[in-house]
Structure 1
Amino acid sequence: MRVAELNEQEIFEKVRSIIVEQLGVDADEVTPDTSFEDLNADSLDIVELIMALEEEFDMEIPDEDAEKLQKVSAVIEYIKENQ
């Protein structure tokens, strides 16, 4: 399936899966309103998370954009707009 075919729910599920894998948190802890601060992610965690998202969604997320992605909902919106 191409990324362009994904709807918001499918994007959320993929993003949540990556967050769970990268940060070692429970899926129940990850909602669109969850911030990475809430998940105790440090700057290295964020860098690794962005790299995993770039690979999964076959896109490049510039550093200046990555810095703005503080919540799961922001990541979903960014991917939706740039897929």
Structure 2
Amino acid sequence: MIKHLHLRSTPPATTLEALWETLARTLPVLTTALSRVKALMERRRVRNELASLDDRMLRDMGVSRYDVAQEIRKPF
């Protein structure tokens, strides 16, 4: 004898609740990741700006060309 499977579709409210639960778990992770990417981009911008300064400006800040080279080599 073959039994028929009755597949129930999930009611819309339950599907919506599941979506909200998934978003609630995922959003903080995405927010953290985006914040880190933003920080990396800002560091890159600042390092590029630092590299573009002339020796007089660096000297006024108390920074040497060597210091700039060290900073630019950092991966993060």
TM tier relative to shorter chain = under 0.3
Return the index of the structure with the highest Cα Rg. 2
Higher relative helix content: 2
TM-score by length of 1: 0.26
Q: Which protein, 1 or 2, shows the higher relative CO under an 8 Å CA cutoff with sep ≥ 6?
A: 1
